[in-house]
């Protein structure tokens, strides 16, 4: 019996030494007899996650603006008007035996002065001798053969001394018997014929049969306008 009492004493004493009196959770943690459970972070599920309220800006490509080029309307070519000198200046005085149409044709021929020579040309861009005569007659709606030697067959052949304003004078300047140059009479005093023509070197100019070259090569005169 005594031995049982002693054994119970030792058991109680042992239990008293090993047990610790804990009065708070903080003290238990400090003594190492209690560890607080790890805090579990709340899991956010895909269904509960809040969507991003910021929507990306929509980038729209600007549509190209069609640029309409203004239509360029070609200006209608103006027809060359007939130059009519109704004042009858001193250089174009119409005598009693002169033809009014011839005087006006000379007036238009004078408007071509300074145009450059161009073989086969009949415009202000350039004209040869028969081309100048053709251009003047075309203004008045009259047609002539294109070459000078063919023109020499048209109208009435007259004595060059009797040539009047508007008559045609023909030359052989190539050293041959064939007519190859033509001009239009501006004035004739009986000894000297002044005429307008297109020369190969100077274009449309006024020349005279007093010049040795044209005096030597003068072939004939024709009256086309009666």
Q: Name the active-site residue from 197, 207, 218, 221.
A: 197
CA-wise closest residue to 218 among 160, 176, 165? 160
CA separation for the pair 151, 224 (Å, rounded): 9
Q: Name the active-site residue from 164, 172, 181, 223.
A: 181
CA-wise closest residue to 110 among 224, 206, 207, 221? 206
Active site residue 116: no
Q: Name the active-site residue from 129, 152, 182, 193.
A: 129
Q: Which residues contact 81 (CB under 8 A, 6 or more apart)?
A: none
Whether the Cβ atoms of residue 18 and residue 33 lie closer than 8 Å to each other: no
CA separation for the pair 202, 211 (Å, rounded): 15
The token duo for 183 is 């001009």
Active site residue 129: yes
107, with CB counted inside 10 A (0-12, 13-18, 19+), is: middle
Helix (H, G, I), strand (E, B) or coil at 96: coil
Q: So which residues are the catalytic ones?
A: 129, 181, 197
């Amino acid at each position: 019996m005594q031995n049982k009492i002693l054994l119970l004493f030792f058991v109680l004493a042992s239990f008293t030494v090993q047990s610790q009196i804990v009065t708070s959770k903080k003290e238990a943690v400090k003594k190492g007899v209690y560890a607080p459970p790890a805090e579990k972070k709340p899991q956010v599920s895909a269904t509960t996650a809040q969507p991003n309220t910021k929507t990306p800006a929509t980038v729209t490509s600007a549509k190209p603006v069609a640029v309409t080029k203004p239509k360029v309307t070609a200006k209608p070519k103006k027809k060359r008007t007939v130059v009519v000198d109704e004042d009858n200046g001193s250089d174009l005085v119409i005598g009693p035996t002169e033809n009014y149409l011839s005087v006006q044709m000379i007036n238009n021929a004078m408007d071509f002065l300074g145009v450059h020579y161009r073989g086969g040309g009949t415009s202000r861009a350039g004209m040869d001798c028969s081309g100048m005569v053709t251009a003047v007659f075309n203004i008045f709606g009259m047609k002539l053969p294109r070459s000078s030697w063919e023109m020499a067959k048209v109208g009435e052949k007259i004595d060059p001394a009797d040539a009047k304003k508007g008559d045609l004078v023909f030359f052989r300047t190539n050293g041959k018997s064939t007519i190859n140059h033509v001009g239009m009479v501006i004035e004739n005093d009986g000894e000297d014929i002044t005429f307008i023509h297109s020369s190969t070197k100077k274009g449309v100019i006024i020349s005279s049969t007093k010049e040795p070259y044209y005096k030597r090569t003068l072939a004939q005169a024709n009256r086309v306008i009666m």
